[in-house]
């Protein structure tokens, strides 16, 4: 395809015989191993590219660029529902495109990229790589976090629908994409096959597998940067989340209706709190999740905390959040509530994290009558139970920060180090340390990073334990072995 020199009367089988229009490409039925190539520097406006046909195992259909120059552009101009759509297809690899869909009339229900399937069975091998998705100004109004319609538009949206045949993604990969200036959602997954998660009922619970979001940048997003739903063992790593929640309530990223999610080596920063928001943290283990793990992440300057762990209780909702693990993370200058528990979470384990609070830490949601909190438990149809907090280092420089446990039960604090300003609400801890951990440069991790790897490297250096640190060898692993306190990163990933 060539938007300037192409001709739809040609056969499209060589650069000199390229097609010109999106409509001609949409009319073709592609076969396994085919390639649909867009000429560098080409721009298509006001139309939706919706190629047809599926590849096969080992023979994907490839959508990519050719030639020298800028990546080809698909610009919907806000006139179409999305600039690029795949519907009921599989075995596709899409790379090296610029995609935008900005409407002159804000608030439309539009998307940049839409990948959808309905009653097809599992759809295999959808790979999106090196895409620049930007300036999609869909409606960003806040209703509530259970409203899937309000969270179904934005930059990249995957949709599983129908209820007649079990349908899910098998090998969905989003890698090294830049998603920015988007409303409301950077990337979001939706599925009608996650209702029966609590009972593992195959009639209504058919999760996606092989979901990977890696090496992406989510920047200046109206609400959530990333929302992964209805998946088993999704891998979310090496991503940078920056300035999410710009216009409405939203943690930078979260998992929902997932088992065994692994969220690691990400940086999340500058998530904004707007008046009336419920959420504005860096990370979120949301409800209807089991065994989520958040590890080796760097969180900083998020206005409403490092991480939320939540599950709405009550006989009608019956939400759950079981066995979340939060370990080996660094939080610097996060505001609001560093750790926030909301509702009926169970079995959360928080260990070997390094927390540094700012002297100017505030609680933007509750205002002056309510202080910022290092740990905060609140009701949401019930209270958290069995939360264990060990091997962590907390350096608190805020005169206002407190711990607040409410009516939560089963809290255990063991072998944590507390230094700096120590509020009267600091929890009992049979083996607590209250000495300087001797960080290399506390508070000195970089806040201005272009990749998650750069941010994590800076945080590791700033919070490295100097020689003679009392935190060395003062902790115990869950298995009982001796370990350091605070975040301990692997020497090699």
Q: Rounded to 10 degrees, what is the CA torsion of 469, 471, 473, 477?
A: -160
Q: What are the phi and psi torsion angles at 159 (to 5°)?
A: -130, 120
Band (pLDDT 50/70/90 cuts) for residue 151 is: confident
Residue 357: the pLDDT is 98
Sequence-distant (≥ 6) Cβ neighbours of residue 448 within 8 angstroms: none
Q: In sequence order, what DSSP letters do the residues of 71-115 get, joined into one string?
A: PPEEE-TTSSSEEEEEES--SEEEES-EEE---SSTTB--EEEEE
Say if residues 202 and 168 touch (Cβ distance below 8 Å).
no
Give strand pairing partners of 116.
Answer: 87, 159
Band (pLDDT 50/70/90 cuts) for residue 310 is: very high
Residue 493: the pLDDT is 67
pTM across the whole model: 0.96
Q: Rounded to 10 degrees, what is the CA torsion of 418, 423, 427, 433?
A: 20
**Torsion 150-153-154-156 (CA) sign:** positive
**Domain 69-483 class in CATH:** mainly beta
By mean pLDDT, which of 140-149, 321-330, 340-349 is the weakest? 140-149
Q: Rounded to 10 degrees, what is the CA torsion of 475, 425, 289, 386?
A: 70
Q: In sequence order, what DSSP letters do the residues of 319-337 get, joined into one string?
A: --EE--EEES-EEES--SE
The string of pLDDT tens digits covering residues 217-243 is: 999 999 999 999 999 999 999 999 999
Classify strands 185-191 and 217-221 as parallel, antiparallel or unpaired.
unpaired
* Cα Dmax for the chain: 80
Q: Domain boundaries in the chain? A: 69-483
CB neighbours (10 Å) of residue 448? Answer: 10
Residue 145: the pLDDT is 47
The string of pLDDT tens digits covering residues 182-223 is: 999 999 999 999 988 888 888 899 999 999 999 999 999 999
The Cα 157–Cα 173 span in angstroms is: 13
**Torsion 11-15-16-19 (CA) sign:** positive
Question: How many Cα atoms occupy the beta-carbon half-sphere of 216 within 13 Å?
Answer: 30
């Amino acid at each position: 395809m060539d938007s300037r020199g192409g001709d739809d009367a040609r056969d499209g089988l060589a650069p000199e015989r390229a097609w010109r229009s999106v409509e001609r490409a949409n009319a073709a039925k592609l076969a396994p191993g085919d390639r649909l190539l867009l000429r560098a520097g080409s721009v298509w406006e006001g139309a939706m590219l919706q190629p047809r046909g599926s590849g096969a195992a080992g023979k994907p259909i490839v959508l990519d660029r050719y030639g020298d120059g800028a990546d080809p552009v698909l610009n919907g101009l806000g006139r179409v529902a999305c600039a690029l759509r795949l519907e009921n297809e599989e075995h596709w690899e899409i790379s090296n495109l610029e995609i935008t869909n900005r409407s002159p009339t804000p608030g439309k229900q539009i998307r940049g990229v839409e990948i959808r399937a309905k009653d097809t069975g599992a759809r295999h091998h959808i790979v999106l790589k090196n895409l620049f998705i930007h300036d999609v100004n869909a409606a960003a109004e806040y209703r509530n976090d259970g409203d899937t319609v309000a969270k179904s538009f934005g930059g990249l949206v995957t949709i599983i629908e129908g209820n007649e045949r079990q349908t899910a993604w098998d090998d969905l990969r989003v890698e090294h994409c830049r998603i920015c200036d988007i409303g409301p959602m950077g990337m979001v997954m939706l599925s009608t096959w996650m209702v029966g998660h609590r009972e593992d009922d195959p009639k209504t619970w058919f999760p996606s597998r092989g979901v990977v979001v890696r090496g992406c940048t989510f920047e200046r997003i109206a609400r959530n940067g990333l929302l992964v739903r209805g998946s088993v063992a999704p891998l979310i790593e090496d991503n940078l989340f920056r300035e999410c929640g710009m216009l409405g309530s939203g943690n930078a990223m979260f998992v929902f209706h997932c088992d065994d999610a692994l969220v690691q080596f990400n940086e999340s920063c500058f998530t904004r709190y707007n008046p009336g928001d419920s959420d504005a943290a860096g990370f979120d283990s949301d409800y209807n999740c089991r065994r989520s793990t958040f590890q080796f992440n760097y969180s900083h300057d998020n206005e409403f905390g490092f991480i939320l762990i939540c599950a709405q209780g009550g006989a009608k909702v019956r939400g759950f959040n079981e066995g979340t693990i939060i370990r080996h993370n660094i939080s610097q200058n996060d505001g609001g509530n560093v750790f926030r528990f909301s509702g009926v979470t169970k079995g959360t384990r928080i260990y070997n994290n390094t927390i540094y609070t700012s002297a100017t830490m505030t609680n933007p949601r509750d205002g002056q009558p309510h202080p910022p909190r290092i740990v905060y438990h609140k009701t949401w149809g019930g209270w958290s139970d069995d939360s264990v907090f060990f091997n962590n280092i907390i350096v608190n420089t805020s005169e206002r920060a407190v711990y607040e446990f409410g009516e939560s039960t089963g809290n255990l604090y063991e072998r944590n180090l507390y230094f700096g300003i120590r509020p009267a609400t600091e929890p009992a801890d049979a083996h607590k340390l209250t000495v300087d951990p001797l960080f290399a440069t506390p508070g000195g991790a970089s806040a201005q990073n272009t990749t998650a790897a750069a941010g994590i490297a800076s945080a590791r250096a700033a919070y490295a334990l100097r020689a003679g640190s009392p935190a060395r060898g003062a902790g115990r692993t869950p298995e009982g072995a001796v370990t350091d306190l605070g975040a301990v990163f692997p020497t090699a990933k």
